[in-house]
């Protein structure tokens, strides 16, 4: 799990923010300017470590962050040839996430900030995901409907301007990403399961009528019943083709997500539908959303694939928003935060 560096653009002139993300199982660092141009980015993924256990072990994750964070920061700075004193600020995820993992990021950012004489801004990870849609180029037009689909969250929100976010609906239990990961585990597909389930689903037929939980109920989500239905089906039909199980599960997820997005758009006419979070990397979701947006005359805003899953660039771009309004969130790890929180 050595950090993978991905230079995206040559060093930009002017101010840069260093973004640090350690809320879960990726140690991610990036340098981003105020326009969302990513000067350098590196991610030390822990996927290999957690694959052995089939999920993220919090203590193992924190220790891996401790090992990787300074080399990853160093790599980004060296790659971009930027002196730390040139930084406008360090943006670091303050929550939501795993407490030990968050603490490693926050403590490291605080120490570096003090040593370099650079301010440190605590950033809400969910606001980071939101801003991922504007990395590399401005895409989001307001008012916007937001669908955030990650390993930890599934929610719909409305934005009438850059800082004005209102939560419209969340999940009562599992997130959609969690359901993907758990179904992947049931199918023996390893961790993280989302990308594998998504690819496998594309090769199967959605022939199994899995439930569409709370599809008729407003803008709320629930995915644990769907996950349990897949588990019961596999217990009953152990020889069922896995590709068909994956395709049927994904079809149920897509139906629920798209019905809710359509309902949110009907209730709140929007210039853009913004889909962010790890599951926004799903090819099936991207296709379903493109169809919905063509149908409703809404602009679809998706982050480039590399910025859909957790990364430091989205945290850096969100930190620019905090600097602009002068918002200073406490530098203490928060295991849960709403998308409305700074």
Choose, by CB under 6 A, the member of 112, 252, 281, 318 that binds ligand KG4: 281
Choose, by CB under 6 A, the member of 174, 310, 318, 321 that binds ligand KG4: 310
Which stretches does DSSP call E strand in the chain?
A: 4-5, 16-21, 26-32, 38-45, 87-95, 120-124, 144-149, 154-161, 164-169, 272-276, 299-301
- Least gap, CB of 260 to Zn ion (angstroms): 20
Q: Which does 320 bind (CB under 5 to 8 A by kind): Zn ion, ligand KG4, none?
A: none
Q: Which does 113 bind (CB under 5 to 8 A by kind): ligand KG4, Zn ion, none?
A: none
Residue with tokens 């326009």: 35
Return the number of the residue (223 or 322) whose C-beta is nearest ligand KG4: 223
Q: Is 150 in the site for Zn ion (CB under 5 A)?
A: yes
Choose, by CB under 6 A, the member of 82, 279, 288, 289 that binds ligand KG4: 279
Do 40 and 5 touch, CB atoms closer than 8 A? yes
Residue with tokens 């990403």: 177
Q: Which residues pair with 120 in a beta bridge?
A: 90
Q: Is 333 in the site for ligand KG4 (CB under 6 A)?
A: no
Binding residue count for ligand KG4, defined by CB under 6 A:
19
- Least gap, CB of 247 to Zn ion (angstroms): 26
- Least gap, CB of 294 to ligand KG4 (angstroms): 21
Return the number of the residue (154 or 284) whose C-beta is nearest Zn ion: 154
Residue with tokens 């992947």: 184
Of 151, 97, 155, 105, the C-alpha closest to 130 is 155
Q: Is 178 in the site for Zn ion (CB under 5 A)?
A: no
Q: Which string of x and - marks every residue 21-60 that binds ligand KG4 (by CB under 6 A)?
A: ---x------------------------------------
Of 195, 172, 193, 173, the C-alpha closest to 184 is 193
215: CB partners within 8 A, 6+ apart: 255, 256, 259, 260
Q: Which string of x and - marks every residue 155-184 that binds ligand KG4 (by CB under 6 A)?
A: ----------------------x--xx---
Binding to ligand KG4 (CB under 6 A) within 184-203 occurs at 192-195, 198
CA distance 184 to 237: 16
Return the number of the residue (80 or 101) whose C-beta is nearest ligand KG4: 101
CA distance 322 to 206: 44
Residue with tokens 């899953």: 309
Return the number of the residue (33 or 310) whose C-beta is nearest Zn ion: 310
Q: Which string of x and - marks every residue 299-318 that binds Zn ion (by CB under 5 A)?
A: -----------x--------
DSSP per-residue codes, 185-231:
HHTT--SS-HHHHHHHHTTS---S----TTTTSTT-B--HHHHHHHH
Does residue 245 sit in helix, strand or coil? helix
Choose, by CB under 6 A, the member of 80, 93, 101, 150 that binds ligand KG4: 150
Burial class (CB in 10 A: 0-12, 13-18, 19+), 320: buried
CA distance 116 to 133: 30
Choose, by CB under 6 A, the member of 151, 204, 303, 333 that binds ligand KG4: 151
Binding residues for Zn ion, per CB under 5 A?
A: 150, 310
Give contact residues for ligand KG4 (rule: CB under 6 A): 24, 150-152, 177, 180-181, 192-195, 198, 277-279, 281-282, 309-310
């Amino acid at each position: 799990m050595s950090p993978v560096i991905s230079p995206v653009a040559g060093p930009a002139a002017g101010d840069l923010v260093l973004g640090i993300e350690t809320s879960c199982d990726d140690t991610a660092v990036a340098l981003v300017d105020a326009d969302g141009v990513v000067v350098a980015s590196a991610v030390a993924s822990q996927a290999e470590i957690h694959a052995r256990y089939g999920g993220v072990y919090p203590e193992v994750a924190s220790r891996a962050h401790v090992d990787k964070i300074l080399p990853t920061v160093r790599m980004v700075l060296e790659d971009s040839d930027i002196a730390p004193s040139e930084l406008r600020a360090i943006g670091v995820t303050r929550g939501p996430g795993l407490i030990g993992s968050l603490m490693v990021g926050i403590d490291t950012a605080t120490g570096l900030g003090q040593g370099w004489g650079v301010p440190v801004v605590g950033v809400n990870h969910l606001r980071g995901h939101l801003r991922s849609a504007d990395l590399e180029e401005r895409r989001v037009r307001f008012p916007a409907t937001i669908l955030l689909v990650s390993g930890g969250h599934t929610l719909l929100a409305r934005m009438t301007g850059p800082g004005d976010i209102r939560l419209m609906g969340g999940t009562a239990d599992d997130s959609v990403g969690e359901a993907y990961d758990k179904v992947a585990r049931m199918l023996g597909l390893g961790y993280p399961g989302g990308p594998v389930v998504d690819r496998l689903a594309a090769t199967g037929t959605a022939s199994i009528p899995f439930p569409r939980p709370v599809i008729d109920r407003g803008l709320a989500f629930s995915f644990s019943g769907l996950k349990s239905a897949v588990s019961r089906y596999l217990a009953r039909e152990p020889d069922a083709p896995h590709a068909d199980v994956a395709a049927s599960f994904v079809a149920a997820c897509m139906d629920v997500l798209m019905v809710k997005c359509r309902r949110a758009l009907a209730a709140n006419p929007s210039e853009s539908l913004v889909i962010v979070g790890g599951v926004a990397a799903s090819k099936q979701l991207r296709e379903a959303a493109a169809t919905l947006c063509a149908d409703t005359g809404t602009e679809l805003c998706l982050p480039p694939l590399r910025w859909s899953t957790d990364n430091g660039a989205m945290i850096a771009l969100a930190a620019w928003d905090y600097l602009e309004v002068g918002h200073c969130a406490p530098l203490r790890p928060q295991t849960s935060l709403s998308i409305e929180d700074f």
